[in-house]
Amino acid sequence: MKAIEDQIANKYKHGFVTDIDSDTLPPGLNEDVIRHISRIKNEPQFLLDFRLKAFAHWKTLPKPDWAKLNIEPIDYQAISYYSAPKIDENAPKSLDEVDPKLLETYDKLGIPLHERARLAGVAVDAVFDSVSVATTFKDTLHKAGVIFGSFSEAAQNYPELIEEYLGTVVPIEDNFFAALNSAVFTDGSFVYIPKGVRCPMELSTYFRINAANTGQFERTLIIADEGSHVSYLEGCTAPMRDENQLHAAVVELVAQKDAEIKYSTVQNWYPGDENGVGGIYNFVTKRGDCRGDRSKISWTQVETGSAITWKYPSCLLKGDDSVGEFYSVAVTNNYQQADTGTKMIHIGKNTKSTIIAKGISAGKSNSSYRGLVKILPSAENARNYSQCDSLLMGSTCGAHTFPYIEAKNPTAKIEHEATTSKVSDDQLFYCRQRGISEEDAVNMIVNGFCKSVFQELPMEFAVEAQALLAVSLEGAVG
Amino acid sequence: MLEIKNLQASIENNKILNGINLSIKAGEVHAIMGPNGSGKSTLASVLAGRTEYEITGGSVTFNGKDLFDLEIEERAREGLFLAFQYPQEIPGVNNVYLLKAAVNAVRKHRGQDEFDAYDFLSLVKEKVKFMEMDEKFLHRGVNEGFSGGEKKRNEILQMLMLEPQLAVLDETDSGLDIDALKVVSKGVNAMRSEERGILMVTHYQRLLDYIKPDFVHVLVNGKIVKSGDHTLALELEAKGYDWLLDAEAA
Amino acid sequence: MTTSSNNLAVMKTGANLVLSDLFNSIKLPSEQQKNALTNLLEQGVPTLRTERWRYTTLRKAISNQLKLVDTTTGELPQHPALAGFDAEKVTILNGQLHGAISITGAELNISNDVSKLDSHKHDDGFIDNTNIAFVENTLKLDISKNIEQLIVLHFHHTIASSLLANRLEIVAARNSSATIVVLHTSDNDLNSTLVPVTTLNAGANSQITLINVQDLGSHTFQLAKTHAHLNADSLFKFTQLEIGSQLSRHDVVVDVLGKGAEFVHSNLLHGTEKQVLDTHLDVYHHVDHTQSSMGVKAVLDDKSRGIFNGKIYVEVDAQQVNADLQNNNLLLSKFAEINTKPELEIYADDVKCAHGATVGQLNEESLFYLRSRGLDKEAAEKVLVSAFSRSTYYGLVPSVLEEWLDARLGFES
């Protein structure tokens, strides 16, 4: 097989900086900064208390140190904790009010808000740095009784829902970054689907980190009340920066009785250049709480970006007969490091979980799957099936699998399988003998490897994911 | 169409092919027979462009072009098809998807329009039926979990779709039961035409009962030691290879 | 001997203190022993916060009641497991050697020298360091040719509240082969802590079968380590049966160092009552064209806990490695528990590595089949459980040992 290492490494397509005035807090973190954020956002008292409590706890925590991640120490005092695009005092109420440059940015990202939204029937809540700037299709959703908008707005309009649910899935004590996020989160999305409602469209958010040295701390809260159904898409991109930028989001999902939440992510934040300079640090806490009987939460993620990813979307299967799913493709190239996986905690009876994780490592990158399947004594007849496969490209990358299985109930049935393989010369030869070019053959094989995850994505996301994969791995096969 | 002149090849410094001369014209069916380790499969692999073999001498032209100047996929697009002895499994890649990508790559090379989805599918279904295969095979991963016979049928299906100028069949009959052998032979015979050459590499005479070759060559120690018409195959069946081995040694 | 402990005051709490005090009672520790203690205290006795020990506490195993063995008396045991063997038996009673081997090609000697195999920093070194710090004599078994007869070594312990470190070093010469049965037993109520370490250096093209049966008394603690170096074309078959003890932690480390070398492992964790059975298996493929195949089964009843951590590590450039690890677990009681983690750590791309783990009930269809043939549910379950456990030793150990194991585990043969 002829080496194609010398192919020109693909440059990050989304690397540009939008030139607009930002209202940015000076770097540093203390109580005053938190009070300031809360004041700017005109938050109710309980939210400020929540933040301060989290901050007090965060200060007591040691900085995390993970074995498989090679992390340069982060100076939390060098980060600016708030950056809002400078616009009129009030947030824009419609697309017309949005800074045209912002819209242009989205155009470059390939998500022209109005067109895309209308064509695809997708309601997009776009988060630019830290403030939600536009939400489309609010009215259609409103008629169905669905609440979908920025977290800040929800804090104004539905404080009782926020107070009831915030921090109940990811408590402030959960981990270092969850505590930090709880203290300083700036904005994010809020979704509430009332009882018995099937959300009439896919909900979608694009996150984007723009200002230099701003950490982004989104807070997303999705509540599916009894018998409701929602599919939520999250896409992430960031411009090219040399400094590493911190992203520490918290996503909380609550599924009540008979409710179903499907949460899909395509993450292609700036991974750093081919020498490992720059890139996003992506430390995210995502957790779904299957609170009610027969509820279901399904996580699907395609992770191709970020210099470092630390992310374990998890499910607490509390309700009887509840179902948790995790489908993941993680691609690393050059010097990227990804440590991702899931936790499935079986608490209720007859709970079921499925884990399909595909890791692709190329260049000098390292990819780890870290997962936990825990069957508590109360979880009669719990079932889990896990499959973790790694595909290696080239001899300078690594793939690691750390699946923790803890079973404390004799009726549990758990199956875990893992394999490591490469794109074999024989497979490539076979495809090329049928007239297919080497690059197409590699893409074909890689997509085949990821198929069981891609088919869980909504159609348009699946197409985007395949394209992303091809871009991420260009020049990776030798 | 195919001119092999004094072809020599080795792997890890072991000489496998020791000067092969063979000429195949359009419309001809050739069979290469020989004992295990005589270099039959090596010849097929070298023609298709496997890189682990080192060409140490000789030349091969295909339709006037130097075969060794062409990449693997260029040879395929020029019309050289290899039916593999051990077809690869490619998990997750739809059989029909590979087929479509391959057919369109070849058509593009020939300056033809790509098939539209409907035309393509009706053509595939027709060929699938001809090969007495179940349509569900189209939507499974390429050769994934196929039995030996199913894999070989799938190879011939690909050949029928790609319509190559020269088909090289590497031990296509090995591991087939009689029913599968008949179907595979039917597929190959359907490909016989004035414009097309076929080169069969086989250890057994059995296949030649169903696909009657115009020429039979015996390969021993990387050299063609005897050529003849189809009666040579019958002679080999009766006498084995030993008499030729002895002749070679002497 | 207080030199090393002075500047390690930070670590001298709890279990660390127990070990350093114990060490002070050694009359003339060697430099090697002193170094081992220094390393031990620098790292400290692992706690539940130590990743490799997150499910197994050493709190009871290393208590301040421990003393070192100061007497060598004791009655030579007659263990039923060995009754059927007509092979020569060597007994190591409370650390003292009784008997000898008179097989040509196999030599058993006692030595003061501890030749620690290079660990490549695979683990925290806790068991190794503890063993070396407290070991009195090392048994050296040299295998120099093909040996047909079985070699049987029986370690037995009778002294209460003691810490005893045995060490067996096996060196298999080029082209040699042998089957070695090692049995570890103790008096049933013995509350001692045993720290046995076995090392194997398998020479080129050697074939060594090691059968390690742990049937210690139900109050005894064991912290064991087996460490093998496999040179080119060697084959190491290791059958590990963990049956007895209150707590048995066994670290198995295999360095596959030579091309063509192969490791085959079979392991049974058979837990009842409140037993804790913990195996950490680390297989390091350092070079290309090597193989390993590991099957680990846990059958856990009552309030027993099983812990299994299996890691396949493939070094950069160790291409064409074929490694497979399967871990299957059965929980037979509401209170039994299994914690398992089959890891892969791969740095070479042209390898075939797979692992699988299952926790589950008995196969419903087999159960149905047996019941349809007239067995009642309980009997059918028993048959399936025994078949599951037996597969870890049937055909892998001498038939007399099979028979004893069946009887010991209550299986009808």
Nearest to C250 by CA among C272, C285, C221, C230: C221
Lookup result for tokens 């009997």: C379
Contact C211, C183 (CB under 8 A): no
- Most confident segment among A27-31, A215-219, A395-399, B226-230: B226-230
**Chain A nearest CA to C312, separation (Å):** 10
pLDDT, mean of residues A17-24: 52
Residue-wise pLDDT for C43-87, tens only, equals 888 988 888 899 999 989 998 788 888 766 667 777 887 877 777
Please report the sign of the dihedral spanned by the C-alpha atoms of residue A96, residue A98, residue A100, residue A102: negative
Name all contacts of C38-44 with Cβ < 8 Å and 24+ positions apart.
C38/C4, C38/C8, C39/C125, C39/C129, C40/C125, C40/C126, C40/C129, C40/C130, C40/C133, C41/C4, C41/C5, C41/C8, C41/C11, C41/C12, C41/C16, C42/C8, C42/C11, C43/C124, C43/C125, C43/C126, C43/C129, C44/C11, C44/C16
Contacts of A56 (CB under 8 A, 6+ apart): none
The reported pLDDT for the residue numbered A344 is 96
> Interior CA angle at C116 toward C110 and C117, to 5°?
120
pLDDT, mean of residues B149-174: 91
Cα–Cα distance between A109 and B90 in angstroms, integer? 33
Q: Is there contact between A and C if contact means ≥3 C-beta pairs under 8 Å?
A: yes
pLDDT over 90 percentage in chain A: 34
pLDDT, mean of residues C342-367: 83
Cα–Cα distance between A404 and C327 in angstroms, integer? 13
- Most confident segment among B10-19, C184-193, C217-226: C217-226
**Chain C nearest CA to A45, separation (Å):** 38
CATH code for the domain of B49? 3.40.50.300
Q: Do A434 and B102 touch (CB under 8 A)?
A: yes
* Chain A CB contacts of C301 below 8 Å: none
H or E, element range at A267? strand A260-267
Residue-wise pLDDT for A247-264, tens only, equals 888 999 999 999 999 999
- Which chains touch B (3+ CB pairs under 8 A)? A
**A369 forms bridges with which residues in the sheet?**
A340, A401
Nearest to A79 by CA among A281, A236, A333, A314: A281
B179 φ/ψ angles, rounded to the nearest 5 degrees: -65, -45
**Chain C nearest CA to A412, separation (Å):** 6
A370 φ/ψ angles, rounded to the nearest 5 degrees: -130, 120
**Chain A nearest CA to C366, separation (Å):** 16
Nearest to C150 by CA among C407, C401, C404, C408: C401
Residue-wise pLDDT for A217-238, tens only, equals 888 999 999 999 999 988 755 4
Across chain C, mean pLDDT equals 88
Nearest to A331 by CA among A299, A312, A359, A354: A359
The reply to whether C348 touches chain A by the CB within 8 Å rule is yes
Domain hosting B239: range is 2-249
pLDDT, mean of residues B92-120: 87
User: What separation, in Å, do the N-terminal and C-terminal C-alpha atoms of chain A show?
Assistant: 8
Contact A336, A272 (CB under 8 A): yes
**A147 forms bridges with which residues in the sheet?**
A192
Residue-wise pLDDT for C254-295, tens only, equals 999 999 999 999 999 999 999 999 999 999 999 999 999 999
At A71 the three-state DSSP class reads: coil
A 46-105 → C contacts, CB under 8 A:
67
Cβ-nearest to A427 among B48, B73, B88? B88
* Chain A CB contacts of C361 below 8 Å: 410-411, 413
The reported pLDDT for the residue numbered A271 is 74
Check: complex ipTM more than 0.95: no
Burial class (CB in 10 A: 0-12, 13-18, 19+), B166: buried
Encoding tokens for residue A148?
Answer: 């979908």
The reply to whether C336 touches chain A by the CB within 8 Å rule is yes
**Which is more confident, C181 or A463?**
C181
Total domains, chain B? 1
Burial class (CB in 10 A: 0-12, 13-18, 19+), A112: middle
A 349-378 → C contacts, CB under 8 A:
375, 377
C 292-331 → A contacts, CB under 8 A:
316-317, 319, 329, 331
Structure-derived torsion over alpha carbons of residues B4, B5, B6, B7, reported in degrees to the nearest 10: -40
Contact C169, C202 (CB under 8 A): no
Cα–Cα distance between A291 and A315 in angstroms, integer? 10
Please determine, for residue A2, whether its predicted confidence score (pLDDT) is greater than 50.
no
Q: Do C360 and A413 touch (CB under 8 A)?
A: yes
Q: Are strands C247-256 and A229-237 parallel, antiparallel or unpaired?
A: unpaired
Cβ-nearest to B76 among A1, A426, A433? A433
Q: Do A431 and B98 touch (CB under 8 A)?
A: yes
Residue-wise pLDDT for A430-450, tens only, equals 999 999 988 888 888 888 888
The reported pLDDT for the residue numbered A39 is 87
Cβ-nearest to B72 among A429, A447, A452? A429
The reply to whether C289 touches chain A by the CB within 8 Å rule is no
Contact C222, C234 (CB under 8 A): no
What b/e sequence results for A303-340 when a residue is b if at least 16 CB atoms lie within 10 Å of its CB, and e otherwise? bbbbbbbbbbbbbbbbbbbbbbbbbbbbbbbbbbbbbb
At A20 the three-state DSSP class reads: coil
At A176 the three-state DSSP class reads: helix
The reported pLDDT for the residue numbered C185 is 94
In chain B, which residue's Cα lies nearest the Cα of A452?
A: B92
Q: Do A412 and C349 touch (CB under 8 A)?
A: no
Cα–Cα distance between C90 and A402 in angstroms, integer? 42
Please report the sign of the dihedral spanned by the C-alpha atoms of residue B39, residue B43, residue B44, residue B48: positive
The reply to whether A45 touches chain B by the CB within 8 Å rule is no
Contact C298, C360 (CB under 8 A): no
**A340 forms bridges with which residues in the sheet?**
A311, A369
A 310-369 → B contacts, CB under 8 A:
none
| A215 — pLDDT class (breaks 50, 70, 90) | low
* Chain C CB contacts of A421 below 8 Å: 352
Contact B221, B39 (CB under 8 A): yes
Cβ-nearest to A448 among B48, B90, B162? B90
Cβ-nearest to C338 among A400, A407, A419? A407
Encoding tokens for residue A17?
Answer: 């900086």
Encoding tokens for residue A34?
Answer: 């938190």
The reply to whether A275 touches chain B by the CB within 8 Å rule is no
* Chain A CB contacts of C348 below 8 Å: 392, 395
Q: Is there contact between B and C if contact means ≥3 C-beta pairs under 8 Å?
A: no
C253 φ/ψ angles, rounded to the nearest 5 degrees: -120, 125
What b/e sequence results for C148-172 when a residue is b if at least 16 CB atoms lie within 10 Å of its CB, and e otherwise? ebbbbbbbbbbbeebbbbbbbbbbb
The reported pLDDT for the residue numbered A127 is 56
Please determine, for residue C116, whether its predicted confidence score (pLDDT) is greater than 90.
no
What b/e sequence results for A96-108 when a residue is b if at least 16 CB atoms lie within 10 Å of its CB, and e otherwise? eebbeebbebbee
| A473 — pLDDT class (breaks 50, 70, 90) | confident
pLDDT, mean of residues A39-43: 86
The reply to whether A423 touches chain B by the CB within 8 Å rule is no
Beta strands in A96-228 (DSSP E): 123-128, 131-135, 147-150, 189-193, 203-208, 219-224
Residue-wise pLDDT for A117-136, tens only, equals 433 334 555 555 444 444 55
**Chain A nearest CA to C125, separation (Å):** 18
- Most confident segment among A52-56, A465-469, C67-71, C76-80: A52-56
Q: List the single best residue of C355, C359, C381 to mutate versus A (max A Cβ within 10 A).
A: C359
Cα–Cα distance between B144 and B94 in angstroms, integer? 9
At C309 the three-state DSSP class reads: strand
pLDDT, mean of residues C330-342: 93
The reported pLDDT for the residue numbered A124 is 54
The reply to whether A452 touches chain B by the CB within 8 Å rule is yes
Structure-derived torsion over alpha carbons of residues A128, A129, A131, A134, reported in degrees to the nearest 10: 0
Cα–Cα distance between A211 and A129 in angstroms, integer? 7
pLDDT, mean of residues B212-229: 92
| C304 — pLDDT class (breaks 50, 70, 90) | very high
Which residue type is seen at B250? A
Q: List the single best residue of B45, B62, B67, B73 to mutate versus A (max A Cβ within 10 A).
A: B73
Cα–Cα distance between B59 and A357 in angstroms, integer? 48
Angle between helices C377-390 and C399-408 (to 10 degrees): 140
**Which is more confident, A73 or A16?**
A73
The reply to whether C371 touches chain A by the CB within 8 Å rule is no
